[in-house]
């Protein structure tokens, strides 16, 4: 009986996971799209990344003190691009992907079109849902963040960052689409480079922004399915339509 109970529990877990995938695929017309279930990364103490802190200092006119005994910083080094972590790592763009996968255990999914299924949308801010997307010979970082820009009013911000230079990012167009209950919301824009920092993109509002009530319209039992498509394009447009 104990053996049967354990096996039955494992089968139920598998059925539940398959059901989540089915619900996400059912929302979108393309049944062949890959579905990735993404669990949230929650932090009780939100620490801004070093690149965001440095940008704030520059905007306020506060320059770091110059000490002749300090080593000169290599401008080609990139700080860790993983949100919600005050990670001291830095390295070249070529090793950013391996760092994110090995240190922060971020999954990577391949395909021109995928479905990003974020679970547990009810968790308090700040919370991130992160995945890497390999497409067209490049790697992209998709970040969905729940954050309070105004106290007591959490919002959801979704953006796509290219793990590459701004010049390379200009060659692509990404589309985020939500589709549920005869409602459709689409955001299309040029991805930003990870060199520009996720925090600054969210602060500028250059991304898909959802308030809590709007996110609930498109969520299903606390999960939010976002269709992602990446194309190569020289024509860049930014639009949000509903």
Q: Which residue has the tokens 């920092």?
A: 197
In a domain, residue 119? The reply is yes
In a domain, residue 60? The reply is no
* Average pLDDT estimate for 143-151: 89
In a domain, residue 25? The reply is no
Nearest alpha carbon to residue 177 among 238, 223, 116: 116
What is the C-alpha separation between 31 and 157, in angstroms, rounded?
26
What is the C-alpha separation between 228 and 49, in angstroms, rounded?
26
| Residues 13-28 pLDDT 10s | 445 445 554 554 444 4
Task: Please state the separation of Cα 5 from the chain's center in Å.
Answer: 38
CATH of the domain at 87: 2.60.210.10
Q: Can you list the alpha helix ranges (DSSP code H) found in 175-237? A: 198-204, 212-218
Confidence (pTM):
0.71
In a domain, residue 1? The reply is no
Distances (CA, A) of 169 to 68, 137, 194, 237, 238: 36, 12, 9, 14, 15
In a domain, residue 10? The reply is no
pLDDT of residue 77: 78
Reduce the DSSP state of residue 93 to 3 states and report it.
Answer: helix
In total, how many domains does the chain have?
Answer: 1
In a domain, residue 118? The reply is yes
In a domain, residue 200? The reply is yes
What is the C-alpha separation between 62 and 117, in angstroms, rounded?
41
| Residues 97-122 pLDDT 10s | 888 888 888 888 888 789 999 999 99
Range of the domain at 214: 31-43+74-232
Q: What is the CB neighbour count within 10 angstroms for residue 217?
A: 13
């Amino acid at each position: 009986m104990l053996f049967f109970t354990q096996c039955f529990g494992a089968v139920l877990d598998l059925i539940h996971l398959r059901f989540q995938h089915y619900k996400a695929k059912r929302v979108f017309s393309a049944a062949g799209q890959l579905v990735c279930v993404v669990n949230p990364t929650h932090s009780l103490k939100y620490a801004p990344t070093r690149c965001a802190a440095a940008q704030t200092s520059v905007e306020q006119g506060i320059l770091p003190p110059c000490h002749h005994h300090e080593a000169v910083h290599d401008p080609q080094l990139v700080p860790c691009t993983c949100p919600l972590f005050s990670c001291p790592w830095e390295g070249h763009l070529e090793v950013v992907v391996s760092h994110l996968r090995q240190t922060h255990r971020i999954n990577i999914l391949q395909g021109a079109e995928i479905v990003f299924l974020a679970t547990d949308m009810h968790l308090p801010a700040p919370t991130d849902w992160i995945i890497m997307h390999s497409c067209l010979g490049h790697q992209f970082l998709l970040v969905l963040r729940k954050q309070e820009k105004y106290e007591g009013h959490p919002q959801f911000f979704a953006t796509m960052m290219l793990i590459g230079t701004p010049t390379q990012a200009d060659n692509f167009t990404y589309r985020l689409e939500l589709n549920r209950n005869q409602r459709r919301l689409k955001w299309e824009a040029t991805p930003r480079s990870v060199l520009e920092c996720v925090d600054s993109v969210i602060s500028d509002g250059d991304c898909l922004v959802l308030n809590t009530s709007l996110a609930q319209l498109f969520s299903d039992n606390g999960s939010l399915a976002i269709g992602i498509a990446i194309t190569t394009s020289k024509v860049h447009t930014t639009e949000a339509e509903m």
